Chains A and B, each alone.
Chain A
């Protein structure tokens, strides 16, 4: 009885030591800061910041010292959250990168669509459904409103429609921004 307890305890302790050693030896050099920045970004994957997507931007903020004011979809709220996380001064959104707009959803005019699949290739989040020579449509729940599909469309049948404010999306308006940011009224709707 006693022997059994000792044997199992020894076995467990041995494996515990082995795993502890492995945890130290095989520690991944994953950057937790990149993950935390990435979770603050809006994940629209719109590339307006000049990087291919939200995660590359997060990586660039850490490794290349990219500015934190390059994300128009996130607006001032994101800039403030990033400034808090990284201990940097919040600054107004870089106007070169675009302006803050209310959240919109792409809508394809299905009468006009010729089924060229160009918008499907442009969509960073695979929110457009369709096949060659068949009408396409946007999955509204998946659309991040990045506008990347508008440009490639040869017949201009994609419109960005602002989401109407409903009971489930209405928020209290944010207090007026005192950091000198472009406290756009548009954020209040979103």
Chain B
């Protein structure tokens, strides 16, 4: 149990996928202009990431490993992720048209979120079992959501701040992200991974 808890804390804070491992930076930069869209994106990514981590684990254990096809891992996982994203889009469109409207183009873009593939591959690399994979995926997703929402909040304030001309736009956003990453380095050593 404490093993699982430490995986969760480690992925959310210590090895945060965005700020420490630098995965999933595209939505982190692209969709964080408004708190509302950032929250929606975080929710959708949480769902997809957790589900994709579990599905890739199952595909790896029950399909690729018995057939000794582990060299096809990457392409098989991409297939799994694409299917999960498509499924999520259909589900969201049916259950919450409003959320679907807010997420719009960003939902299909989760397919290309490298954090999703990263979680699936790292699960295999660190030879996690089923439950650990699930928690690892969930932790990565929660960490992603946390920094995404924090960053969107900061950027909303940055939008009205008097930023010197050369730093306006993407540059100040990247500098802010860098400072946040420095902040998250403070969590190193919190959990032995």
Chain A residue contacts of B67, Cβ below 8 A: 3-4, 7
Q: Is B37 an interface residue (CB 8 A)?
A: no
Contact call A18/B87, Cβ cutoff below 8 A: yes
Given contacts A4-B72, A7-B63, A7-B72, contact A26 B80 (CB under 8 A): no
Q: How many residues of A contact B (CB 8 A)?
A: 15
Assembly CA distance A15 to B75 (angstroms): 14
Chain B: residues with Cβ within 8 Å of the partner, total of: 19
State whether the Cβ of A8 lies closer than 8 Å to any Cβ in chain B. Answer: yes
Give CA–CA (A122, B72) in the complex, Å.
59
B94 within 8 A of A: yes
Interface residues of chain A: helix, strand, loop or mixed (majority): helix
Verify if B163 is at the interface (C-beta below 8 Å from A).
no
Within 8 A of B (CB), among A1-55: 3-4, 7-8, 11-12, 15, 18-19, 22-23, 26-28, 30
- A3 and B69 in contact (CB under 8 A), knowing A8-B76, A11-B76? yes
Closest to B92 in A: A26
Q: Across the two chains, which residue of chain A brings its CB closest to B100?
A: A28
User: A12 contacts B79, CB within 8 Å?
Assistant: yes
User: Contact between B93 and A19 (Cβ–Cβ < 8 Å)?
Assistant: no
Choose among B63, B64, B83 the residue with the greatest number of A CB atoms under 10 Å from its CB.
B83
Cβ contact of B87, chosen from A4, A8, A19, A30, cutoff 8 A: A19
Determine whether B98 belongs to the interface, using a CB cutoff of 8 Å to chain A.
no
Contact B97 A19 (CB under 8 A): no
Chain A residues, CB < 8 A from B94: 26-28
Q: What A residues does B79 contact at CB under 8 A? A: 8, 11-12, 15
B69 touches A19 (CB 8 A): no
**Chain B residues, Cβ within 8 Å of A27:** 94
Are A26 and B63 in contact, with the CB atoms below 8 A?
A: no
Smallest CB–CB gap between B96 and chain A, Å? 11
Residues of A within 8 A of B86 (CB): 19, 22
**Cβ contact within 8 Å between B69 and A15:** no
A residues less than 8 Å from B190 (CB atoms)? none
Q: How far is the CB of B128 from chain A (nearest CB, A)?
A: 21
B59 touches A11 (CB 8 A): yes
**Complex alpha-carbon distance, A8 and B76, angstroms:** 7
Q: Are B93 and A22 in contact (CB under 8 A)?
A: no
**B residues apposed to A, CB below 8 Å:** 59, 63-64, 67, 69, 72, 75-76, 79-80, 82-83, 86-87, 90-91, 93-94, 97
A to B CB contacts below 8 Å, 7 in the list: A4-B72, A8-B75, A11-B76, A18-B87, A19-B83, A19-B90, A26-B91
Task: With A4-B69, A15-B79 given, name 11 new contacts (CB 8 A).
Answer: A7-B63, A7-B67, A8-B79, A15-B82, A18-B87, A22-B87, A23-B90, A26-B90, A26-B93, A28-B93, A30-B97
